[in-house]
Chains A and B, each alone.
Chain A
Amino acid sequence: MTARKLAAFIDALVSGRRPERFSATPEDVDVLRMAITLRAERPGDATPDDEFVSGLYEELKAQASSRAEPGFQPVTITGSGARPTRMSRGRFAIAAVAAGLVLVAGTTSATEAFNHARTAPVAVPAAHGVGLLTGTFESADHRVVGQIVAYPSHPSWVYMNVDVANYNGRVVCMLQSDNGSTVAAGTFELHGGVGEFSRAIRGDVDQLRGARLVTPTGSVLGSATFA
């Protein structure tokens, strides 16, 4: 089954169509990466269509107008052209926070920064992007189960979203420093495998090496290494 879906994915790449989703195995990744590399070498598609560029411009222009309206909640997103897409709240959240932490800083908590970034952001001198640490939580079988963002400031912040299959309950986020020590950043609940967590932390974020998500029984749901 996986081989057939892998072949279908590659067929779609070759013909310029959007590939279908499937559960890839770690063995598939190298093949898929090479297929993408080779496909990207074919002339023609590496520059955007004028229609796409102008269409997105108009959409962003409308979005800029909408932001001025009270209560704007940009969770449902309309895709380009005739392909509407819907961004999940969690997906939007991690992207928005990752982005927002670079140029917009909240004054009390990361959660508040997320909740109010589009209506009442506090402009501060922009931090260079190098200050932001991001990592991807992967399970023991190398499946992506979440993302984490850490931002060095006063105070520093961590934000993460998690999406693991078939787990409900508490999870402890353990931060790992370069010297090998670990500290619990906090506990949060996963409902249906999904959850988000943000917290101000003390200490030098630049010294962080990674993070782990641990259940109360000691099982590791995922590990991330900061880039």
Chain B
Amino acid sequence: MFRATQPSKRSEDHHPVRGDSNGAHLRLVDADIYTDWESVYKDNVERLYRLMYAKVGNRPDAEDLTSEVFRTAFGPLRLASSKGEVRAYLLVTARTVLASHWRQRLGLAVTSIDPTSDLAYLVEPSTTGQPSDAPQRAATVLAALPDRFRRILELRFLEACSIKEAALAMDVSVSNAKVLQHRALQMAAKVAQDLAQ
């Protein structure tokens, strides 16, 4: 059965603390606090949007989910918390919001937010682009595909071609282009899984 509760790691009175032993969390600094909700918003809106965009792949949903995180988070938010604490709080809220999004949209969780690895989205400078190895991983995946599979995915996802335009560029029928795209995505997913192992 459960043991008596251990004191949780926390920043009592906002003294500097480190995260847990896995070292995945911010070092919190006394002076590094938000003083009003506007500063929380301005400092994190772009970061949260980029995180959500990476998880859903389209602007309308990324905007709605970002909005939902702030609406949800700002109710209970108490200021005079450190930036690290506020960002951890935003990330937990974002995780729940994203899970609900997939639950309602598809019934299955296609992507999720990992409190450890995805914290980088909120702590990296907002001008550095996507703070993950996703671009490199995507390039590696594409490079591992047969030419025709790679080409259909490049045309569709990177060059924004319609399925008709992609079919024309590859000199195949629209039906063939659809089949090619599906098989290419399946193989790319398999390659990505292999790379992750």
> A: which residues have CB within 8 A of B?
3, 6-7, 10-19, 21-26, 28-42, 45-49, 52-53, 56-57, 59-60, 63-64, 67, 74, 77, 79-81, 83, 85, 87, 91-92, 94-96, 98-100, 102-104, 117-118, 121, 123, 125-132, 134, 136, 142-144, 147, 149, 152-156, 163, 177, 181, 183, 201-208, 227
* A-B CB contact pairs (8 Å), 12 listed: A30-B186, A34-B141, A34-B189, A35-B185, A37-B192, A38-B142, A60-B37, A103-B77, A118-B76, A130-B88, A131-B8, A163-B103
Asked if A202 and B2 make an inter-chain contact with CB atoms under 8 angstroms apart, the answer reads yes
Is B5 an interface residue, CB under 8 A from the partner?
Answer: yes
B64 touches A85 (CB 8 A): yes
Name the CB-closest residue of B to A143. Answer: B107
Residues of A within 8 A of B81 (CB): 103, 126
CB distance from A61 to the nearest CB of B (A): 8
- Report the minimum CB–CB distance from B159 to chain A (whole Å): 8
The answer to whether A95 and B178 have CB atoms under 8 Å apart is no
Bound state CA distance, A100 and B55, in angstroms? 23
Contact with A along B171-195 (1 / 0, CB 8 A): 0000000100110011011101100
Whole-angstrom CA separation of A34 from B110 in the bound complex: 10
B50 contacts A by Cβ under 8 Å: yes
When C-beta atoms are compared, the residue in chain B nearest to A165 turns out to be B107
Given contacts A24-B110, A95-B72, contact A48 B153 (CB under 8 A): no
Count CB-based A-B contacts (< 8 Å). Answer: 305
Complex Cα distance, B108 from A183, in Å, reads 28
Q: Contacts of B70 on A, CB cut-off 8 Å?
A: 56, 60
Interface of B is mostly: helix
Is the Cβ of A21 less than 8 Å from the Cβ of B105? yes
Cα(A134)–Cα(B81), bound, Å: 22
A80-B63 contact given A11-B163, A63-B71, CB 8 Å threshold: yes
> Is B58 located at the chain interface by the 8 A CB criterion?
yes
Q: Is the CB of A13 within 8 A of B57?
A: yes
| Interface residue from B4, B42, B88, B138 paired with A204 (Cβ < 8 Å) | B4
Interface size class of B (residues with CB under 8 A): 35 or more
Distance, CA A97 to CA B37, complexed state (A): 19
Q: Does B146 contact A (CB under 8 A)?
A: no
- Chain A, Cβ-Cβ closest to B59: A45
* Cβ–Cβ contact B2 & A31, under 8 A: no
A40 in contact with B57 given A14-B157, A134-B95, A156-B5 (CB within 8 Å): yes
Residue in chain B with minimal CB distance to A36:
B57
Closest Cβ neighbor of B156 among chain A residues? A14
Smallest Cβ-Cβ distance to A9: which chain B residue: B106
Q: Which residues of B contact A10 (CB under 8 A)?
A: 181, 185
Q: Given A17-B60, A48-B66, A103-B89, A24–B8 Cβ distance below 8 Å?
A: no
CB distance from A62 to the nearest CB of B (A): 11
